[in-house]
Amino acid sequence: MNLNNLEILDVLEKNFGLDPKSSKVLIVGLGNTGISVAHYLNKLGFKFAVTDSREKPPLKDVLYNEMPDIPVFTNGFDDAAFKVATHLIVSPGVSMDEKTIHKAIVNGSKTLSDIDLFICSVKAPIIAITGSNGKSTVTTMVGDMATCAGRKVAVGGNLGTPVLDLLEEEAELFVLELSSFQLERAMGLNAVAATILNISADHLDRHVNMANYAKEKQRIFNGDGVMVINIDDPIVNAMQETNRCVFTFSIKRSADFHIDRKNNVEYLMHNNESLMPLSELPLEGRHNAANALAALALGTSIGLDKKAMCEALKKFKGLDHRMQRVAEIQGVTWVNDSKATNIGACIAALEGYDRKIILIAGGDAKGADMSELKPVIEEKAKSVVLMGKDAGLIKQAISNCVPVHLAKNMVEAVQICADIAETGDSVLLSPACASLDQYKNYEDRGNQFSKAVLRLIV
């Protein structure tokens, strides 16, 4: 259900003045998004070049092997490349505040994104999902639900497959995870249903403050589709529009999708209808109940069969590095939540426990106020082990409200936890920080945690 090339070209010219004969496009950033844009433009016959601030972008050789005639400018942003560009397509990893980009815009270059190109190329409905935490889980849940309900669905975006690569699939439904960086440069989004799962401090090094961050997230509600609103989050709840169809969800109170107890059993509910027992959701943490409710609301908004959706939830095993149980060793459970790269994710993970746990945290705080962790750590943690660039900052922020230990690396952190843990304890890696101070990415950090834990068995 995608447009053909002639239809796409017509929409691109109408919406963005993009024409293969006269437009000169500069792709800014040669990562996964950049290479997907290059494939797309090349297929449609556009003239384009690529630039990257890095000396050796990860996909430079791939581009050269597939499109050897495409000009590539690396090791900084060259003014000359920007000067001739009529259009800039800036990858999410590149800040729009770069001086060279700003200068080009002032001089008349138009900007658009891979999301805009995608929207101009599809007929099928789009479900769009964002939030500081849980968006990958909910995106995958909705994709599984649609598949279980017999829909031909394509899932991607910030999660896994770049959106333009999804065009290779003739899907009848697209489920997209979108980050704040993708949303800030996407202009034409009108999803059939969209949600912001939550808003907590993240990427403030790029967005400067919470108001700007929330404003960029709110772009996901552009258009006239169904708004799926978390009424437990005051910032998101305030985004409701009275002239729109709204589905609400909550794990704390009554909502369109909520939790209720009947005959001493907790159920996921749609208004007064019991959908499934909460105990049949195979995920750790109460925040994952909120994720399930959001997914049910999104699926209901497009008419997915409720029985099929619940079957998909019962089979859902979660995603790597997101509240992933690694092992139980001598009565101690070890959980990998390395994807918790911000304060909100760590708080959600801690609040999901009904007993006190041992927490491993730390890394690059990205300018966030780490004192926000203190109340939940005081309530939910029996000890904290800190590591990474901002370990000292976090220690100061939580003011020794519980015993604090410092570790140089993951192996040492795991060993400290093993020494202090007792039978029945859970050790949770939920860093509340980015990983790049010590690791390639959060996956590498999670893998190092798992390896260190499994060495305890030997």
Catalytic residue set: 135, 158, 203
Q: What is the DSSP letter of 208?
A: -
Within 68-157, strands assigned E span 72-73, 87-90, 110-112, 126-130, 153-157
Residues 6+ apart with CB under 8 A from 111: 87, 88, 89, 90, 96, 101, 105, 185
Question: Is residue 262 within a helix (H) or strand (E), and if so which, with residue range?
Answer: strand 257-262
For residue 63, the Cα-to-chain-centroid distance in whole angstroms is 26
Q: Locate 64 and state its tokens.
A: 């050269």
Among candidate residues 60, 166, 72, the one with its CA nearest the CA of residue 117: 166
Within 17-151, strands assigned E span 24-28, 47-51, 72-73, 87-90, 110-112, 126-130
- Secondary structure of 288-329 in the HEC alphabet? HHHHHHHHHHHHHHCCCCHHHHHHHHHHCCCCCCCCEEEEEE
- Secondary structure of 337-393 in the HEC alphabet? CCCCCCHHHHHHHHHCCCCCEEEEECCECCCCCHHHHHHHHHHHEEEEEECCCCHHH
Q: How many Å apart are CA 324 and CA 284, to the nearest integer? A: 8
Label residues 8-24 b or e (16+ Cβ within 10 Å = b): bbebbbeebebeeeebe
Q: How many Å apart are CA 147 and CA 142, to the nearest integer? A: 9
| Coil, helix or strand at residue 138 | helix
Q: How many Å apart are CA 390 and CA 365, to the nearest integer? A: 6
Q: Locate 255 and state its tokens.
A: 């909502």
Residue located via tokens 């494939």: 39
Pairing of strands 332-336, 324-329: antiparallel
